[in-house]
Structures are given as structure tokens and as C-alpha cells.
Chains A and B, each alone.
Chain A
Amino acid sequence: MASRLSAAQRRRIRIRERIIESALFLAATSSVLVTGGIVFVLLYESAAFFEHVPVITFLTDTVWTPLFADPRYGIMPLLCGTLVSTLVALAVAAPLGLTAALYLSEFAGPRVREFIKPTLELLSGVPTVVYGFFALLFVTPILQKIVPGLPGFNMLSAGIVIGIMIIPYVASLSEDAMRAVPQGLRDASYGLGATKLETAVKVVLPAATSGVAAAFVLGISRAVGETMIVAIAAGTQPNLTLDPREPAATITAFIVQVALGDLPHGSLPYQSIFAAGLMLFLLTLAFNIFSFWLRARYREVY
């Protein structure tokens, strides 16, 4: 077949394709590069930090007082704060978010869903400062009536409110995963005489496992990275404890508290921010890898 384009025309088209392809490639790689840059800065500053503080000390020392005259750099208290508030948040968001998702996907009529889902997603538009004060001024006083001797700053209240904050993420993403389950599987289940609830719990939910797990991990990542709520409601005192009733600082709360003061560049307290940031990064990375593994392990084949 004879070509309808001349050789020159064809070359021009080829060059244009090349240019567009390179532009797209640059756009795609720029986000990777930025991420790489951030990781590099984290590692670079942390490396300087770890020249003065051995990694072992960082990981095992039980006191975090970088701003004291006699500074100690044990990440454990901050890690505990993050862990406890995240666990409390998850204990709130996992059951509520999952139930909401199951209801929206399997039981709610289209009208109800069209109303509830946007409302739920609106919740994620509330600034976290507002959530923080909601925790401090509303939730904590209520909790103090239930839990005797609860201090004004505590991780329980902060965790509960973080949980409320991440419910929309967990619910919305889980619902997407459940709705993606093919109707044929529900039909098969109904056809066998299963009830709506049995179908939802035994067929739809397991079939959506990987999506639901991804929703949870995203929620956890949000909780781990949450700053304002914990800084306001849980206090900024590093505290090595696993008791959610106690006040404690999280990694993020420390970073925001210290980064706002003016620390001289290159000083050890300044570098400790990066070390803490690296810790946070590794934590979320671990969660993401975990979700990746979950997804590969329970990949749906419909």
C-alpha cells in the first residue's frame, strides 16, 4: 500500500510525537523527583543528626528532650504518642467507616446514598484546627464525665476525633471498593437463598478486601500524619506511655511545635526534626508496603 504522506511529513510527525512524549515523561517524573528530593533532604539532615546521636540511642532511649539543657533524643515517647492516637482513631473509624460503607453500598436506596455520601465527604473539608478544638472543648469535657480523673490534654479525645475525621476516607473508599464488586456475585448469593446481610458480609465484603484494606491504610496514614488535632487536644509533652488517657506528644506534634520556634540551622535540635520526620516517613512507608502486600495477597479476580 502506498503511503499518503511524504517522507518529510512523516518525519515531522515523528518529531512532534517525540516532543510530546518527552513532555509527558517529564510531567510524570517530576512528582517522582520531588518525592526523591524530599527523601534526600530527610536522609541528608538525618545523617548529620545520627553522627551525633547513635541510631541505637535514638531508637531505645526513653526520653525526648531536645530543647533541654541536657538534651536526650529517644524517639520512643513520640512514637508511642503517634501509635496510641492512631490506634484509638482506628478503633473508632474502622467499625464506623466499614458499617457506613456497607450500608451505603448494599442497603441504602439511591436517594439516601445521593444525600449521605456527599455529606460524608463534606466532613473531610472541615479544617483540622476545628477538629482540634472540637476535641479539646467538646469531646474532652464529655469524656471527663465518663472517665474519672481524665486530664484536660489526653490522647483518647484526640484519637477519637482523628477517628471521626478519617471516617469519610475509610467509608468512601471502602464503599467504592464494594460497589465495584460485580452484580453477578450478589445475584449468585441471592440465588442461593442468602439474605441481604449475608450477601453483604460474606460475599461483598470479602470480595472487596483489598480495596477496603487500602481504605484503612489511607486512613491510618492520615491519622499518623495528623498534627493539629493531637497538638491541640493531646498536648505537646512527650510521654512514654501506652495509656490513651494520658497526655502525650506525637511525632508530628513535636515537629510543628519545634519548627515554629526559631532554631539555628544546623543545630542538633534542628536536625532532630528531620530525624523525627524520617521516622514518620518510614512509618507511612511501612503501611503503604503493607497495603501493597495486602492487595497482592488478596487480589480480586472476578
Chain B
Amino acid sequence: MDAQVKFSLRDAPHEMIERAVKVRAENVNVFYGAKQALKDVNVGIPERGVMAFIGPSGCGKTTFLRCINRMNDTIAIAKVTGRIVIDGENINDRKVDVVELRSRIGMVFQKPNPFPKSIFENVAYGPRIHGLATSKSALEEIVVSSLKRAGLFDEVKERLHDAGTGLSGGQQQRLCIARAIAVEPEIILMDEPCSALDPIATARIEELMEELAKIYTIVIVTHSMQQAARVSQRTAFFHLGNLVEDGPTDVIFNNPKDKRTQDYITGRFG
């Protein structure tokens, strides 16, 4: 069982705050065919808050993120070993219902990927398949509140039945976030959610993450060090499939233990 672990949070740097580990990776290895993409990764992700994963391209950030909701299952050649423990349960166990697991974990992708359906139908998709709404009005309520929490409602309230693919890139990404939170997940995984967006759209998403982190556990992969510093309380650094170090964001950025982390932070490689 996971003990309560102390995490130092950036907004309270001088005291250690008790916070449960929501997700713990134990000796996680991932292979794509013969190629090993992750090597013995051990890391804990605290409940409620934002944890950032950084590292050079190809180091395994996306691969790690996709371990948390077992999306690697959908890749035929991918093989995952080790334990991923969420709320005390090893999700790599064969008994685990993947579909149920994924309904508890939202995912936002690098490229906005709204369904070619209306804005309404995009958000209603998850609640529909999980039977979360018992009536039409309940469904509408879920859709509206999800869009509101994603900060998109005011921009689209007049055209809920227009195609979601007709929105701007930043709006599409917020639609994808609304779609993810509509099923009330506990964890939200975001894989470079702002990489296709301009600074203004990025700022909106970052604001939104801060808001969402009050309720959800957010795991974000980002190439932008500034973004990691702005939004996260904890940061982990990956390099060539190894988790080099993790810790409070301010420590990782200001006082990293490992030379590789330091080189990456200061822009010497990657």
C-alpha cells in the first residue's frame, strides 16, 4: 500500500504538505518490439495538483503517460512490465477492466482531436457511452457545465450544434478538455496540450489547468520549461527512457541533483 508521502508544493515552499500518492509507477519497463522505450521507471504522482514530465524528444514521456491509462494496450507491439498503482490498485493486473479504468482517467492529446460531430455531441460522447445521464436534460447539464469548466461555453453557446472541427485550434483543445472532464475523471493526462497553440490560447489552457488541479490530478507532458515552471508543483525529468530525477518543480529547476537535468534545464541539449 502507498503510504502518505510528503510533497513539497511550490505554493508552499517552506513546509511539507501531506498529500496522498495518486499514481505510483514501480519498475515500469516498456518495449516496442525489441526496442526498450522506458527503463525501470519509479515515480509517484501526488493527488490533486499538476505534475510535469519533461525531457528531450523521444525520451519516453508520451510512452509513460500512456502507461497510466493503459493506452499502450492499443499498440500491438508495445509490452509493459512492472506495476502502475492507482489508489492502491495495480492497473497492470489482468483483472483490471481497462474500459472502466479509462473512464476514470481523461486524456488530452498533443493534436486537438475533436470527433467530426457537433460540439454538443463531442462532449456528450463520454457520458453517453458510460450512461452517466439518465435524461436528455441531465445530459445537457453535463455538457454545459463541462464546457463552462473548460472555459469554452461563452464562445460556443450559440452554436452547440455546429461541428466541433470548425473551431479554432485553441478552442478545439478546450473542447477536448471539456470532453475529457465530462466523464468526471480523477486523473487528467495531457500530452503537450499546447504545442499546437498560440501564446494566448496557451495561457487560457494553463489558467484552466490551475483551476482543474483543485479537483483533479493532472499529469502534463511538455517541451516548454517555462510552462512546466508555471503550472506544475512537481516535475520529473526523463532522459533516454530513464527517469533521471523528480522532485518539487522549484528544486528541479533551480537546484537539480543530476548533471543531465542541469544540462537540459540550461538548454545545453535537447
Q: Mark A residues whose CB is within 8 Å of B.
A: 109-110, 182, 184-195, 198, 202-203, 206-207, 300-302
- A interface, over-half SS: helix
Docked-complex contact A301 and B69, CB < 8 angstroms:
no
The CA-CA distance from A207 to B183 in the complex, in Å, is 22
Give the nearest-CB partner of A191 in chain B: B107
Which 6 pairs, one residue from A and one from B, show the smallest C-beta to C-beta distance?
A193-B103, A191-B107, A184-B113, A193-B102, A301-B165, A192-B126
Scan residues 83-117 of chain B and give those whose CB is less than 8 A from a CB of chain A: 99-107, 109, 111, 113-117
Across the interface, name the chain A residue whose C-beta is closest to B101: A193
Contacts of A301 in B (CB 8 A): 116, 163, 165-166
* A203 CA to B128 CA, complexed, in Å: 13
CA distance A186 to B116 in the complex (A): 12
Name the residue among B107, B113, B166 with the largest chain A CB count within 10 angstroms. Answer: B113
CB pair B109 A187 closer than 8 Å: yes
Is the Cβ of B179 less than 8 Å from the Cβ of A192?
Answer: yes
> Considering the chains assembled together, what is the distance between the CA atoms of A150 and B113 in angstroms?
54
Residues of B within 8 A of A191 (CB): 69, 71, 102, 105-107, 109, 180
Instruction: Check A190–B74 contact: CB distance below 8 A.
Output: yes
Q: What are the residues of chain A within 8 A of B99 when measuring CB–CB?
A: 193-195
Assuming the contacts A185-B115, A301-B116, asked whether A190 and B71 have C-beta atoms less than 8 A apart, the reply is: yes
- Contact status A302-B130, CB under 8 Å: no
**Interface pair B163/A198, CB less than 8 Å apart:** no
| Distance between Cα atoms of A120 and B120 in the complex (Å) | 39
CA distance A184 to B165 in the complex (A): 13
Residues of B close to A189: CB separation below 8 A: 115, 125
Residues of A within 8 A of B76 (CB): 109-110
- Chain B positions within 8 Å of A, measured between CB atoms, are 69, 71, 74, 76, 99-107, 109, 111, 113-117, 125-126, 129-130, 163, 165-166, 176, 179-180, 183
Contacts of A185 in B (CB 8 A): 113, 115-116
Chain B residues with CB below 8 A from A198, complex form:
129
Q: How far is it, in angstroms, between the C-alpha of A192 and the C-alpha of B117 when the chains are bound?
A: 16
Q: How far is the CA of A110 from the CA of B104 in the complex (A)?
A: 31
- Asked if A207 and B115 make an inter-chain contact with CB atoms under 8 angstroms apart, the answer reads yes
Complex contact A193–B115 (CB within 8 A): no
Q: How far is the CA of A67 from the CA of B117 in the complex (A)?
A: 55
User: What 14 additional pairs, Cβ within 8 angstroms, besides A184-B109, A192-B106, A206-B116?
Assistant: A185-B115, A185-B116, A187-B71, A187-B74, A190-B74, A191-B102, A192-B125, A192-B126, A193-B103, A195-B99, A206-B117, A207-B115, A301-B165, A302-B165
Number of A-B contacts defined by CB within 8 Å: 76
Chain B residues positioned under 8 Å from A110 (CB to CB): 76
Residue of A nearest to B130 (CB): A193
Most interface-central of A109, A190, A198 (chain B CB within 10 A): A190
* Distance in Å: Cβ of A193 to nearest Cβ of chain B: 3
In the assembled complex, the Cα of A302 lies from the Cα of B125 at a distance in Å of 17
A185-B115, A192-B180 given; A202·B125 CB < 8 A? yes
Residues of the A chain whose Cβ atoms lie less than 8 Å from the Cβ of B104: 193
Assess the B129–A202 pair: CB atoms within 8 A.
yes
A187-B113 contact given A192-B103, A198-B129, A301-B165, CB 8 Å threshold: yes
In whole angstroms, what is the CA distance A194 to B104 when docked?
12
Give the shortest distance, in Å, between B183 (CB) and chain A (any CB): 6
Chain A residue nearest to B113 in the complex (CB)? A184
Looking at the assembled complex, report how far the CB atom of A257 sits from the nearest CB atom of chain B, in whole angstroms: 47
**Do B102 and A188 touch (CB < 8 A)?**
no
- B126 adjacent to A193 (CB under 8 Å): yes
- Which chain B residues lie closer than 8 Å to A202 at the CB level? 125, 129
A184 to B113, CA, bound (A): 6
Complex-state Cα separation, A188 to B110, whole angstroms: 11
Sample of 5 A–B contacts (CB below 8 Å): A184-B111, A190-B74, A190-B102, A191-B109, A194-B125
Complex contacts, B179 vs chain A, CB 8 Å: 188, 192
Cβ-defined contact, A300 with B116, below 8 A: yes
- Least CB separation from A195: chain B residue: B99
Find out whether the CB atom of B113 lies under 8 angstroms from the CB atom of A182: yes
Q: What's the nearest-Cβ distance from chain A to residue B164, in Å?
A: 9
Question: Chain A's nearest CB lies how many Å from the CB of B52?
Answer: 20
Given A187-B74, A301-B166, A302-B165, verify A193-B129 contact (CB < 8 Å).
Answer: yes
Which of chain B's residues have a CB closer than 8 A to the CB of A203?
115, 125
Interchain CB contact under 8 A, B102 and A207? no
A192, B129: Cβ atoms under 8 Å?
yes
- Kindly provide the distance from the CB of B187 to the nearest chain A CB, expressed in whole angstroms: 12
> How distant is the Cα of A184 from the Cα of B115 in the complex, in angstroms?
9
Measured CB to CB, the closest approach of chain A to B236, in angstroms, equals 21
Provide the residues of chain B in CB contact with A192, threshold 8 Å. Answer: 102-103, 106-107, 125-126, 129, 179-180, 183
User: In the complex, A301 Cα to B164 Cα: how many Å?
Assistant: 9
What is the bound-complex CA distance between A206 and B166, given in angstroms? Answer: 17
Q: Report chain B residues within 8 Å CB of A193.
A: 99-104, 126, 129-130, 183
In the complex, which residue of chain B has the Cβ closest to the Cβ of A182?
B113
B183 cross-chain contacts in A, Cβ below 8 A:
192-193
